[in-house]
A = this chain, B = another copy of it.
Amino acid sequence: MKSFFYDDYSDGAHNDVLKQLIDHNEEPQLGYGKDEYTEKAARRIAEVVGGNPSIYFISGGTQANLTILSHMLKSHEAVIASDCAHINNHEAGALEATGHKLVSVPTKAGKMNPQDVERIISQHDEYMVKPRVLEITQATEQGTIYSKAELKALIDVAKKHGMLVYLDGARLAHALTAQKADLTITDLPKLGVDAFYIGGTKNGALCGEAVVIVNPEIATDFTYSIRQHGGILAKGRLIGLQFMGLFENDLWLNLAKHANDMAAALSEGAVDSGLELTYPTDINQVFVTLTPAQVERLNVKYGFHVIEKIDDRRHVARLVCSWATTENQIRELIADMGSL
Protein backbone atom coordinates (compact mmCIF):
# COMPACT_ATOMS: atom_id res chain seq x y z
CA MET A 1 0.00 0.00 0.00
CA LYS A 2 1.07 3.54 -0.69
CA SER A 3 2.27 5.78 2.08
CA PHE A 4 -0.61 8.23 2.58
CA PHE A 5 -0.09 11.97 2.18
CA TYR A 6 -3.51 12.60 0.65
CA ASP A 7 -5.01 14.50 3.53
CA ASP A 8 -5.41 14.64 7.29
CA TYR A 9 -8.59 12.58 7.42
CA SER A 10 -7.31 9.29 6.05
CA ASP A 11 -6.87 7.63 9.42
CA GLY A 12 -9.38 6.47 11.99
CA ALA A 13 -9.52 8.15 15.39
CA HIS A 14 -6.62 8.74 17.73
CA ASN A 15 -6.65 6.03 20.40
CA ASP A 16 -7.51 8.42 23.23
CA VAL A 17 -10.50 9.60 21.24
CA LEU A 18 -11.67 6.13 20.30
CA LYS A 19 -11.25 5.03 23.91
CA GLN A 20 -13.93 7.49 25.01
CA LEU A 21 -16.38 5.93 22.58
CA ILE A 22 -15.54 2.45 23.80
CA ASP A 23 -15.54 3.23 27.53
CA HIS A 24 -18.93 4.93 27.53
CA ASN A 25 -20.61 2.89 24.81
CA GLU A 26 -23.03 1.06 27.08
CA GLU A 27 -24.37 4.00 29.07
CA PRO A 28 -27.78 5.26 27.98
CA GLN A 29 -27.77 8.99 27.37
CA LEU A 30 -30.24 11.61 26.22
CA GLY A 31 -30.25 12.31 22.49
CA TYR A 32 -29.54 15.39 20.40
CA GLY A 33 -26.57 16.62 22.39
CA LYS A 34 -28.26 16.65 25.78
CA ASP A 35 -26.02 13.84 27.05
CA GLU A 36 -23.60 14.50 29.88
CA TYR A 37 -20.48 14.06 27.72
CA THR A 38 -21.51 16.70 25.25
CA GLU A 39 -22.23 19.05 28.11
CA LYS A 40 -18.89 18.27 29.73
CA ALA A 41 -16.98 18.78 26.48
CA ALA A 42 -18.82 22.06 25.89
CA ARG A 43 -17.93 23.35 29.36
CA ARG A 44 -14.30 22.39 28.87
CA ILE A 45 -14.03 24.15 25.50
CA ALA A 46 -15.73 27.25 26.88
CA GLU A 47 -13.13 27.36 29.64
CA VAL A 48 -10.26 26.99 27.20
CA VAL A 49 -11.58 29.75 24.94
CA GLY A 50 -12.55 32.03 27.79
CA GLY A 51 -15.15 34.78 27.94
CA ASN A 52 -18.19 32.55 28.34
CA PRO A 53 -18.94 31.60 24.74
CA SER A 54 -21.70 29.21 23.63
CA ILE A 55 -20.49 25.84 22.36
CA TYR A 56 -22.22 23.54 19.86
CA PHE A 57 -21.17 20.40 18.04
CA ILE A 58 -21.78 19.83 14.34
CA SER A 59 -21.10 16.75 12.25
CA GLY A 60 -18.67 18.20 9.69
CA GLY A 61 -16.90 21.23 8.29
CA THR A 62 -19.24 22.09 5.41
CA GLN A 63 -22.16 21.72 7.81
CA ALA A 64 -20.46 24.04 10.29
CA ASN A 65 -19.69 26.67 7.66
CA LEU A 66 -23.12 26.70 6.05
CA THR A 67 -25.02 26.60 9.32
CA ILE A 68 -23.07 29.32 11.09
CA LEU A 69 -22.91 31.66 8.11
CA SER A 70 -26.56 31.32 7.14
CA HIS A 71 -27.52 31.86 10.77
CA MET A 72 -25.46 35.07 10.91
CA LEU A 73 -27.03 36.53 7.77
CA LYS A 74 -30.31 38.08 6.75
CA SER A 75 -31.49 37.21 3.27
CA HIS A 76 -29.85 40.16 1.49
CA GLU A 77 -26.53 39.92 3.26
CA ALA A 78 -23.35 38.41 1.88
CA VAL A 79 -20.06 36.91 2.94
CA ILE A 80 -16.69 38.38 2.03
CA ALA A 81 -14.11 35.58 1.89
CA SER A 82 -10.89 34.62 0.20
CA ASP A 83 -10.89 33.35 -3.37
CA CYS A 84 -9.41 30.07 -2.19
CA ALA A 85 -11.80 29.64 0.76
CA HIS A 86 -13.06 26.10 1.12
CA ILE A 87 -16.63 27.39 1.22
CA ASN A 88 -16.01 29.24 -2.05
CA ASN A 89 -14.63 26.32 -3.99
CA HIS A 90 -14.98 22.93 -2.46
CA GLU A 91 -18.37 22.76 -0.79
CA ALA A 92 -20.48 22.44 -3.94
CA GLY A 93 -22.18 25.78 -3.48
CA ALA A 94 -23.23 25.11 0.11
CA LEU A 95 -23.42 28.77 1.08
CA GLU A 96 -25.29 29.86 -2.03
CA ALA A 97 -27.74 27.01 -1.48
CA THR A 98 -28.72 28.81 1.72
CA GLY A 99 -29.42 31.91 -0.38
CA HIS A 100 -26.32 34.01 0.15
CA LYS A 101 -23.67 35.37 -2.16
CA LEU A 102 -19.97 35.04 -1.44
CA VAL A 103 -17.84 37.89 -2.70
CA SER A 104 -14.24 36.78 -3.08
CA VAL A 105 -11.04 38.59 -2.20
CA PRO A 106 -7.75 37.82 -4.01
CA THR A 107 -5.09 36.05 -1.97
CA LYS A 108 -1.37 35.49 -1.90
CA ALA A 109 -0.36 32.10 -0.52
CA GLY A 110 -3.90 31.74 0.78
CA LYS A 111 -3.98 35.03 2.66
CA MET A 112 -6.09 38.16 2.12
CA ASN A 113 -4.75 41.61 2.89
CA PRO A 114 -6.75 44.38 4.59
CA GLN A 115 -6.47 46.80 1.65
CA ASP A 116 -8.23 44.38 -0.70
CA VAL A 117 -10.89 43.65 1.87
CA GLU A 118 -11.45 47.38 2.40
CA ARG A 119 -11.64 48.06 -1.33
CA ILE A 120 -14.12 45.27 -2.00
CA ILE A 121 -16.39 46.18 0.89
CA SER A 122 -16.32 49.83 -0.15
CA GLN A 123 -17.36 49.05 -3.71
CA HIS A 124 -20.72 47.84 -2.45
CA ASP A 125 -23.73 50.10 -2.79
CA GLU A 126 -27.48 49.66 -2.39
CA TYR A 127 -27.79 47.91 -5.78
CA MET A 128 -25.59 45.07 -4.64
CA VAL A 129 -25.67 42.60 -1.78
CA LYS A 130 -24.80 43.97 1.64
CA PRO A 131 -21.48 42.68 2.97
CA ARG A 132 -22.18 41.40 6.47
CA VAL A 133 -19.71 38.70 7.44
CA LEU A 134 -15.98 38.55 6.82
CA GLU A 135 -14.88 34.93 6.76
CA ILE A 136 -11.26 34.19 7.54
CA THR A 137 -9.73 30.72 7.33
CA GLN A 138 -7.05 30.06 9.92
CA ALA A 139 -4.92 28.18 8.94
CA THR A 140 -5.58 28.92 5.27
CA GLU A 141 -6.33 26.41 2.55
CA GLN A 142 -2.79 26.83 1.29
CA GLY A 143 -1.16 25.84 4.52
CA THR A 144 -0.25 29.32 5.74
CA ILE A 145 -1.25 31.21 8.86
CA TYR A 146 -2.14 34.79 9.69
CA SER A 147 -0.12 36.40 12.46
CA LYS A 148 -2.04 38.02 15.29
CA ALA A 149 -1.36 41.45 13.81
CA GLU A 150 -2.55 40.35 10.37
CA LEU A 151 -5.74 38.92 11.85
CA LYS A 152 -6.32 42.12 13.79
CA ALA A 153 -5.91 44.25 10.68
CA LEU A 154 -8.47 42.17 8.75
CA ILE A 155 -10.93 42.12 11.62
CA ASP A 156 -10.59 45.86 12.13
CA VAL A 157 -11.66 46.50 8.54
CA ALA A 158 -14.75 44.38 9.05
CA LYS A 159 -15.65 46.03 12.35
CA LYS A 160 -15.16 49.50 10.88
CA HIS A 161 -17.89 48.61 8.38
CA GLY A 162 -20.20 47.19 11.04
CA MET A 163 -19.60 43.65 9.88
CA LEU A 164 -19.33 40.39 11.78
CA VAL A 165 -16.32 38.08 11.66
CA TYR A 166 -16.40 34.32 11.27
CA LEU A 167 -13.31 32.13 11.36
CA ASP A 168 -13.22 28.74 9.64
CA GLY A 169 -11.02 26.74 11.98
CA ALA A 170 -10.93 23.36 10.27
CA ARG A 171 -7.21 23.44 11.08
CA LEU A 172 -7.25 25.96 13.90
CA ALA A 173 -5.21 23.67 16.16
CA HIS A 174 -2.52 23.52 13.49
CA ALA A 175 -2.48 27.32 13.25
CA LEU A 176 -2.16 27.67 17.03
CA THR A 177 0.73 25.21 17.23
CA ALA A 178 2.61 26.34 14.16
CA GLN A 179 6.25 27.10 14.80
CA LYS A 180 5.78 30.75 13.92
CA ALA A 181 2.39 31.12 15.67
CA ASP A 182 1.94 34.15 17.94
CA LEU A 183 -1.74 33.49 18.56
CA THR A 184 -3.56 31.65 21.31
CA ILE A 185 -7.17 30.60 21.25
CA THR A 186 -8.08 33.12 23.95
CA ASP A 187 -7.05 35.87 21.52
CA LEU A 188 -9.91 35.12 19.15
CA PRO A 189 -12.75 36.64 21.20
CA LYS A 190 -10.53 39.56 22.16
CA LEU A 191 -9.68 40.32 18.54
CA GLY A 192 -13.38 40.50 17.68
CA VAL A 193 -14.09 37.11 16.12
CA ASP A 194 -17.84 36.60 16.54
CA ALA A 195 -17.93 32.89 15.81
CA PHE A 196 -15.54 30.14 14.82
CA TYR A 197 -15.18 26.42 14.88
CA ILE A 198 -12.44 24.14 16.12
CA GLY A 199 -11.96 21.28 13.70
CA GLY A 200 -12.09 17.73 15.00
CA THR A 201 -12.28 15.73 11.76
CA LYS A 202 -8.83 16.79 10.54
CA ASN A 203 -7.28 16.46 13.97
CA GLY A 204 -7.84 12.98 15.31
CA ALA A 205 -11.61 12.58 15.57
CA LEU A 206 -13.79 10.38 13.37
CA CYS A 207 -16.12 13.29 12.75
CA GLY A 208 -17.30 16.48 14.36
CA GLU A 209 -16.43 20.13 14.79
CA ALA A 210 -16.86 22.30 17.87
CA VAL A 211 -18.62 25.58 17.15
CA VAL A 212 -17.75 28.50 19.41
CA ILE A 213 -20.12 31.46 19.34
CA VAL A 214 -18.68 34.46 21.09
CA ASN A 215 -21.33 37.01 20.13
CA PRO A 216 -24.48 36.24 22.15
CA GLU A 217 -26.79 37.69 19.49
CA ILE A 218 -25.62 34.99 17.11
CA ALA A 219 -26.13 32.29 19.72
CA THR A 220 -29.84 33.13 19.90
CA ASP A 221 -31.82 30.30 18.34
CA PHE A 222 -28.69 28.72 16.91
CA THR A 223 -29.90 25.20 17.74
CA TYR A 224 -32.83 25.72 15.36
CA SER A 225 -30.40 26.33 12.53
CA ILE A 226 -28.26 23.29 13.38
CA ARG A 227 -31.33 21.12 13.33
CA GLN A 228 -32.73 22.65 10.15
CA HIS A 229 -29.60 21.83 8.21
CA GLY A 230 -29.29 18.36 9.73
CA GLY A 231 -25.95 19.03 11.40
CA ILE A 232 -26.99 17.63 14.75
CA LEU A 233 -26.58 13.91 15.43
CA ALA A 234 -29.35 12.08 17.27
CA LYS A 235 -26.53 10.36 19.17
CA GLY A 236 -24.83 13.65 19.98
CA ARG A 237 -22.62 11.72 22.36
CA LEU A 238 -20.58 10.58 19.35
CA ILE A 239 -19.13 14.06 18.95
CA GLY A 240 -19.27 15.08 22.60
CA LEU A 241 -17.22 12.08 23.68
CA GLN A 242 -14.61 12.65 21.00
CA PHE A 243 -14.11 16.28 22.00
CA MET A 244 -13.91 15.20 25.63
CA GLY A 245 -10.97 13.08 24.51
CA LEU A 246 -9.43 15.81 22.39
CA PHE A 247 -9.53 18.39 25.16
CA GLU A 248 -8.01 16.14 27.81
CA ASN A 249 -4.31 16.88 28.40
CA ASP A 250 -4.19 19.22 25.39
CA LEU A 251 -4.48 16.28 23.04
CA TRP A 252 -5.92 18.50 20.27
CA LEU A 253 -2.86 20.75 20.40
CA ASN A 254 -0.40 17.89 20.67
CA LEU A 255 -1.85 16.08 17.66
CA ALA A 256 -1.73 19.20 15.54
CA LYS A 257 1.78 19.99 16.64
CA HIS A 258 2.93 16.54 15.66
CA ALA A 259 1.41 16.95 12.21
CA ASN A 260 3.08 20.35 11.87
CA ASP A 261 6.44 18.97 12.93
CA MET A 262 6.25 16.17 10.38
CA ALA A 263 5.41 18.70 7.67
CA ALA A 264 8.23 21.01 8.73
CA ALA A 265 10.70 18.17 8.40
CA LEU A 266 9.26 17.18 5.05
CA SER A 267 9.32 20.75 3.80
CA GLU A 268 12.94 21.17 4.80
CA GLY A 269 13.81 17.88 3.16
CA ALA A 270 12.06 18.92 -0.05
CA VAL A 271 14.02 22.16 -0.20
CA ASP A 272 17.25 20.32 0.52
CA SER A 273 16.41 18.02 -2.37
CA GLY A 274 16.24 21.06 -4.61
CA LEU A 275 12.45 21.09 -4.94
CA GLU A 276 10.50 24.32 -5.02
CA LEU A 277 7.88 25.01 -2.37
CA THR A 278 4.75 26.51 -3.93
CA TYR A 279 3.80 28.18 -0.64
CA PRO A 280 5.64 28.49 2.67
CA THR A 281 5.00 25.56 5.02
CA ASP A 282 3.37 27.00 8.13
CA ILE A 283 1.34 24.00 9.21
CA ASN A 284 0.83 20.35 8.29
CA GLN A 285 0.63 20.75 4.52
CA VAL A 286 3.55 20.92 2.13
CA PHE A 287 2.91 22.30 -1.33
CA VAL A 288 5.63 21.43 -3.83
CA THR A 289 5.86 22.41 -7.47
CA LEU A 290 6.83 19.33 -9.47
CA THR A 291 7.10 18.31 -13.08
CA PRO A 292 4.57 15.78 -14.31
CA ALA A 293 7.36 13.21 -14.47
CA GLN A 294 8.30 13.86 -10.86
CA VAL A 295 4.67 13.51 -9.85
CA GLU A 296 4.45 10.20 -11.63
CA ARG A 297 7.58 8.84 -10.00
CA LEU A 298 6.56 9.88 -6.48
CA ASN A 299 3.09 8.53 -7.03
CA VAL A 300 4.34 4.96 -7.21
CA LYS A 301 4.98 4.80 -3.49
CA TYR A 302 3.15 7.84 -2.11
CA GLY A 303 -0.47 8.86 -2.19
CA PHE A 304 -1.09 12.61 -2.65
CA HIS A 305 -3.17 15.02 -4.69
CA VAL A 306 -2.09 17.32 -7.50
CA ILE A 307 -4.24 20.31 -6.76
CA GLU A 308 -3.30 22.65 -9.57
CA LYS A 309 -1.59 22.59 -12.91
CA ILE A 310 0.10 25.97 -13.33
CA ASP A 311 1.28 24.98 -16.78
CA ASP A 312 2.51 21.88 -18.58
CA ARG A 313 5.74 21.79 -16.60
CA ARG A 314 4.61 22.88 -13.16
CA HIS A 315 2.11 20.84 -11.21
CA VAL A 316 1.38 21.59 -7.59
CA ALA A 317 1.46 18.55 -5.31
CA ARG A 318 -0.08 18.79 -1.85
CA LEU A 319 1.52 16.53 0.75
CA VAL A 320 -0.46 16.47 3.94
CA CYS A 321 0.82 15.19 7.27
CA SER A 322 -1.47 14.21 10.11
CA TRP A 323 -1.32 13.22 13.77
CA ALA A 324 -0.76 9.68 12.48
CA THR A 325 2.11 10.42 10.12
CA THR A 326 5.33 8.77 11.31
CA GLU A 327 8.91 9.93 11.18
CA ASN A 328 9.66 6.88 9.09
CA GLN A 329 7.17 7.94 6.45
CA ILE A 330 8.80 11.35 6.30
CA ARG A 331 12.33 10.00 6.15
CA GLU A 332 11.44 7.64 3.35
CA LEU A 333 9.64 10.32 1.35
CA ILE A 334 12.53 12.77 1.73
CA ALA A 335 14.95 10.11 0.59
CA ASP A 336 12.86 9.49 -2.52
CA MET A 337 12.57 13.21 -3.16
CA GLY A 338 16.34 13.37 -3.14
CA SER A 339 16.52 11.02 -6.06
CA LEU A 340 13.86 12.67 -8.20
Listed in ascending order, the chain A residues whose CB lies under 8 Å from chain B are: 1, 4, 6-7, 9-13, 15, 18, 21-22, 24-31, 59-67, 70-71, 74-76, 78, 89-94, 96-102, 126-130, 201-202, 206-207, 221, 223-225, 227-235, 237-238, 324
Are B228 and A76 touching (Cβ within 8 A)? yes
Are B92 and A129 touching (Cβ within 8 A)? yes
Are B221 and A233 touching (Cβ within 8 A)? no
A126 to B32, CA, bound (A): 11
A206 to B37, CA, bound (A): 15
A24 to B235, CA, bound (A): 22
The minimal Cβ–Cβ distance linking A20 to chain B, given in whole angstroms, is: 11
A21 to B22, CA, bound (A): 10
The minimal Cβ–Cβ distance linking A271 to chain B, given in whole angstroms, is: 26
A15 to B207, CA, bound (A): 20
Query: What is the predominant secondary structure among interface residues of chain A facing chain B?
Result: loop
Which residue of chain B has the shortest Cβ distance to A24 in the bound complex? B12
Are B202 and A234 touching (Cβ within 8 A)? yes
A112 to B64, CA, bound (A): 35
Complex interface: chain B residues within 8 A of A233 (CB): 59-60, 201, 206-207
Are B90 and A96 touching (Cβ within 8 A)? no
Q: List, sorted by A's number, 9 A–B pairs whose CB atoms are closer than 8 Å.
A: A4-B28, A12-B26, A18-B25, A62-B232, A75-B98, A96-B100, A127-B227, A130-B221, A207-B207
Which residue of chain B has the shortest Cβ distance to A205 in the bound complex? B235
Are A74 and B12 touching (Cβ within 8 A)? no
Which residue of chain B has the shortest Cβ distance to A13 in the bound complex? B25
Are B9 and A235 touching (Cβ within 8 A)? yes
Are A93 and B12 touching (Cβ within 8 A)? no
The minimal Cβ–Cβ distance linking A219 to chain B, given in whole angstroms, is: 13
Complex interface: chain B residues within 8 A of A78 (CB): 93, 96
Which 8 pairs of residues, A with B, have the shortest CB-CB distance? A12-B25, A63-B230, A76-B224, A62-B230, A92-B228, A93-B129, A93-B101, A9-B234
> A224's contact among B1, B129, B201, B225, by CB below 8 Å, is which?
B129
> A6's contact among B24, B31, B100, by CB below 8 Å, is which?
B31
> A227's contact among B91, B224, B229, by CB below 8 Å, is which?
B91
Complex interface: chain B residues within 8 A of A227 (CB): 62, 91-92, 94, 126-127
Which residue of chain B has the shortest Cβ distance to A29 in the bound complex? B10
Are A91 and B230 touching (Cβ within 8 A)? yes
A75 to B98, CA, bound (A): 9
